Amino acid sequence: MSDVLLVGTDLRKSFGKTPALDGAGMSVAAGEVVAVLGPSGSGKSTLLHCLAGIVAPESGTVVYAGRELSAMGDKERSALRRGEFGFVFQFGQLVPELTCLENVALPLRLGGTPRKAAEAAAREWLGRVRVDEVADKRPGEVSGGQGQRVAVARALVTRPKVIFADEPTGALDSLSGEEVMRLLVGTARETGAAVVLVTHEARVAAYSDREVVVRDGRTREPEHAW
């Protein structure tokens, strides 16, 4: 692939004696949607955390746009996360004290955008994921599906290059899950963002361009399997 944006190579990470990653690696091209599939406990989330610079691997490298994450300082790394990456988790990512609008505006505010401009952009994004009506509600007052759409808006509001989504539909029923996937992948494609989509559900993975399978902390890409 010519325009590789993010590459993790030979990643190892243990928690106590259990190796969560045991030589895992994968690459993501600009604008590509890659599913990370595998059974529960296989190391998918740990792989995502390493690629996103949230967790430091014990060995191996992560290179984003030609820069190695482990060579950056903490400040530089969090600026990169804030500026270039977006995150959607299974749940619990919205700040409960803020309204949905303020939640979506938050990443822009943290990046220094003035309140008015940030909230205008947030409002536009809530419209794009079709939940304008929850703007003034708090996360505790909206449904699971609406909350995940707000999370998608919040992940995309900074126009990230990569969206990391960890079981984004894991807590939703089938219909809300479908809606969230359509919006997540649809808006990512419109804005040219790549998506690293961790899931154990094949119907969710079917929204991707290709898949990487994780088993016992190791990755297996089908095109290299034999």
Ligand X SMILES: Nc1ncnc2c1ncn2[C@@H]1O[C@H](COP(=O)(O)OP(=O)(O)O)[C@@H](O)[C@H]1O
Q: Which does 143 bind (CB under 5 to 8 A by kind): another protein, ligand X, Mg ion, none?
A: none
Comparing CB distances to ligand X, the nearer of 18 and 59 is 18
Total binding residues toward another protein, as defined by CB under 8 A: 16
Residue 222 touching another protein (CB under 8 A): yes
Count of residues for the chain? Answer: 226
Q: Which residues pair with 166 in a beta bridge?
A: 198
How many angstroms separate the CA atoms of 226 and 123, rounded? Answer: 49
Of 205, 212, 217, 219, the residue at the interface with another protein (CB under 8 A) is 205
Question: Quick one: tokens of 199?
Answer: 């899931």
Residue 202 touching another protein (CB under 8 A): yes
Q: Which does 93 bind (CB under 5 to 8 A by kind): Mg ion, ligand X, another protein, none?
A: none
Helices 144-156 + 100-110 axis angle, to 10: 20
Comparing CB distances to another protein, the nearer of 104 and 205 is 205
CB atoms within 10 A of CB 50: 27
Q: Which does 201 bind (CB under 5 to 8 A by kind): Mg ion, ligand X, another protein, none?
A: another protein
HSE, CB side, 13 Å, CA atoms: give it for residue 204: 27
**Smallest separation, CB 46 to ligand X (Å):** 3
